[in-house]
Amino acid sequence: MEPMVLKILSKTYRSSESAVFEIAALKAQLELPKGVTHVISDVHGEARKLRHVINNASGRLRPKVAELFDGDTNSPGFKEFLHLLYYPTELLQMKEEEFRDNSEGRYQWVLQTLQRQFDIIRWEIHSKRRKDIKYYTPKQFRELFEILLNYPAGGHHEAFLFATIRELVNRKMEYEALRAASRFIRNLSVEELVVAGDLGDRGSRIDWVIDYLMHQPNVSIVWGNHDVSWMGACLGHPALIAIVLRVSLRYRRMFQLEEGYGILTKPLEMLAESVYADDPADCFLPKRGGERDERVIARMQKAIAIIQFKLEGQLVERHREWEMDDRNILHNLDLEAGTVTIKGKQYPLRDSHLPTVDPSDPNKLSPEEEHCLQRLIESFVSSARLWEHMKWVTERGSMAEVRDKAVIFHACLALDEDGAYQSLNIDGKDLRGPEQFGALNRVIKRAFKKGTAADQSDVDWLYYLWAGPKSPLFGKDKMATFESYFIEDKEAKKEHRNPWFEFLHDHSFCERVCRDMGVQDGGLIVNGHVPVKVEKGEDPVKRGGNAVTIDGAFSEAYGDRGFTLILSPQGEYLAEHHGFKDPVSVVRTGEDIIPTMRKIRTYDSLRLVKDTDRGSQIRQQIHALESLVEAYQNGEINEEE
């Protein structure tokens, strides 16, 4: 090993003894069961549902809690304890009313509840290293939690524990300890949460979703096409700003922009008032009700949609290599006849009132549109909170991840009709299949490193990933936004899926993709993006048995369900969540929300850390530390006393 690498390593392990102890701990870790990973997808701004799924560990905690209550899952105490783990704030508010004039009852309940919480914690930590346990332990409660963890075997006199808790009760701080213990349990129960794309849009608040994820201990993001649209808008990409605004208006989700990110939409409202003042904009009515006048929202949506189509036309002209000329759609308008021509077929327009479209130069913004757009760009790029969130999504994110045998990416790898990978030219190289993931990672992270000074060509890739026909985040021949607004004919609106989605049912094909991603045998492809229509008989697990789609329709627009893929030492399971309700009503009615668990496949024996990609990383650490010990013993590096 390089001497410089060993020198750097010696700054952490300053003696041969410390290095040997770490080698011993790492070798022991290899023999432990692997950690549990949860994979969810397509949250689409549904922060309340996300909180429920994370807090109940997708149903994994319930069986252990049932053991604590001797299997009596109908008892009030069982449901109350579950609610403390899932919704501590709401449950403790209710207990505050119950114990208002009963301090002794409050003390006894807190003592019993903390001891039960630590029964769960002792079960969770049996396969964790001490330093990992310390990492998850909240600092302000570290001493109390160590006592509870080892009580009564730890040697502390019981008076020490009882007096500590009574003092917390007297000072009204005991609920903080209960909340911290619930969070401690949740953090221990899942080693990593992977979100396989589409954090926002359609649902109410992408900002709340990201806030909640940022407070989780170990989160990885696999980008989806809705994520890259927000990322590009944050960098000031005009077309993606228009897209983010249009989708937010379509679903009446303006609070996330105005309240969440402080983005001013007044310039767009003023444009709509001046250009479309008397326009009914019937084709642009929002998908849901709200406080603001629906005609105002519709006119704003129409105004930004026309700007989007113009900017997309400019993009397509700038990137002929994308082969997206069919999206340069305003050139095909005949406003006098009230028609548009698409793929040689003429269709009547549902709305031909387009006063800002100049037939001689249809993609040119009008002066009013240009002024509005510049103010919108300024508002997006100056939002500190939007930058903080998108920077976090970029740093925690990638195009694809591999977790043990699971190969995780959002939508697809573009194929031709024969199942061969289609190529994309990225940074001057024709790349196919999984090769594209690494190249696109570099483009996106390079763009965010430069911020608003990023190369235009790099930021344009974010638009292609949103809607390009070979985009790994999209998977269709076109995004028929114009057609959905302006054309009645259903065939014109149809978006044709890439052959990928049919090949996913082919066991041998999926094995080949997994091998290309580095999983040599027993791989499982995990995608989101396409909602599984369970009510129509669709199955998230594909016919070949080694691919699964986990977009369970979190979004209110698609349903009220969700899936969690659970990658555990015993095997792979799918939890189906349904019937999301308000936490306060759940706590008050004592309802027990139980996900439906489905086995995908199990292992013949427990999967250990040494069997996984994490095990390979640990073996590399051990090799480096053994080289450091040898260097200490040979006197090549001096040990510190």
pLDDT in tens, 29-42: 999 999 999 999 99
The residue with greater pLDDT, 341 or 561, is: 341
Comparing 40-54, 286-300, 501-515, 585-599, the range with the smallest average pLDDT is: 585-599
Mean of the per-residue pLDDT values for the chain? Answer: 92
Q: Between the CA atoms of 99, 101, 103 and 106, what dihedral angle is there, to the nearest 10 degrees? A: -10
Upper half-sphere CA count for residue 325 (Cβ side, 13 Å): 6
CA distance 302 to 296: 10
Structure tokens at 305: 């949609």
User: According to CATH, what is the number of the domain 33-59+193-218+399-412+502-607?
Assistant: 3.60.21
The rounded distance, in Å, linking the Cα atoms of 241 and 256 is 14
Say if residues 424 and 464 touch (Cβ distance below 8 Å): no
Q: What is the DSSP string of 262-309?
A: ----HHHHHHHHHHSTT---GGG--SS--SS-HHHHHHHHHHHHHHHH
Per-residue b or e along 110-138, where b marks 16 or more CB atoms closer than 10 Å to that residue's CB: bbebbebbbebbeebbebbeeebbeebbb
- pLDDT attached to residue 416: 97
Question: Between β-strands 345-348 and 339-342, what pairing exists: parallel, antiparallel or unpaired?
Answer: antiparallel
Residue type, 383: S
The pTM of the full predicted model, rounded to 2 decimals, is 0.92
Q: Which of 10-14, 150-154, 369-373, 464-468 has the lowest mean pLDDT?
A: 150-154
Dihedral over Cα of 289, 295, 297, 302: its sign: positive
Torsion of CA 72, 74, 78, 80, to 10 degrees: -170
328: three-class secondary structure by DSSP:
coil
Strand, helix or coil for residue 234: helix
* Over residues 588-616, mean pLDDT: 86
* pLDDT in the model for residue 154: 62
* 8 Å CB contact between 57 and 585: no
Structure tokens at 502: 């049919």
Q: What CA–CA distance (Å, rounded) separates 96 from 92?
A: 6
Q: Which band of pLDDT confidence, cut at 50, 70 and 90, is reported for residue 592?
A: low
What token pair was written down for 597? Answer: 């668990």
Closest residue by Cα to residue 473 from 464, 482, 484: 464
What is the rounded CA–CA span in Å between residue 250 and residue 244? 10
Contact 565, 572 (CB under 8 A): yes
Q: Tokens at residue 623, please?
A: 């090799």
Q: Residue 498 gets which letter from DSSP? A: P
pLDDT digit string (tens) for 217-267?
Answer: 999 999 999 999 999 999 999 999 999 999 999 999 999 999 999 999 999
The sheet with strand 37-40 has its strands ordered as: 397-398, 219-222, 192-195, 37-40, 561-567, 571-578, 596-602
Angstrom distance (rounded) from CA 118 to CA 132: 16
| pLDDT tens digits, one per residue of 353-406 | 999 999 999 999 999 999 999 999 999 999 999 999 999 999 999 999 999 999
DSSP 353-386: --TT--TTSTTSPPHHHHHHHHHHHHHHHT-HHH
Task: Give domain limits for the chain.
Answer: 3-30+613-633, 33-59+193-218+399-412+502-607, 61-189, 226-381
- Position 556 scores a pLDDT of 67
Contact 61, 183 (CB under 8 A): no
Interval 523-555: pLDDT, tens: 999 999 888 887 788 899 999 999 999 987 776
DSSP reduced 3-state for 594: coil
The predicted model gives 559-565 an average pLDDT of: 81
- Give the residue among 436, 519, 616, 523 at the shortest CA–CA distance from 444: 436
How far is residue 166 CA from its own chain's centroid? Answer: 41
pLDDT band, very low/low/confident/very high, at 157 (cuts 50, 70, 90): confident
Task: Report pLDDT for 515.
Answer: 97
CB 248 within 8 A of CB 274: no
Closest by Cα among 301, 329, 320 to 242: 301
| Strand pairing report for 219-222 and 192-195 | parallel
Distance CA 4, CA 635 (A): 15
Please give the Cα distance from 300 to 496 (Å, whole number).
29
How do residues 71-111 score in pLDDT, each as one tens digit?
A: 887 888 888 898 898 889 888 988 888 888 888 999 999 99
Residues in contact with 130: Cβ distance below 8 Å, sequence separation at least 6, in sequence order = none
Question: Residue 340 pairs with which residues in a beta bridge?
Answer: 333, 347
- The percentage of the chain sitting over the pLDDT mark of 90, rounded to a whole number, equals 71
Which residue type sits at 41?
Answer: S
Q: How far apart are CA 85 and CA 586, in angstroms?
A: 13
Helix (H/G/I), strand (E/B), else coil: 62: helix
Residue 199 has a CB neighbour count (10 Å cut-off) of: 27
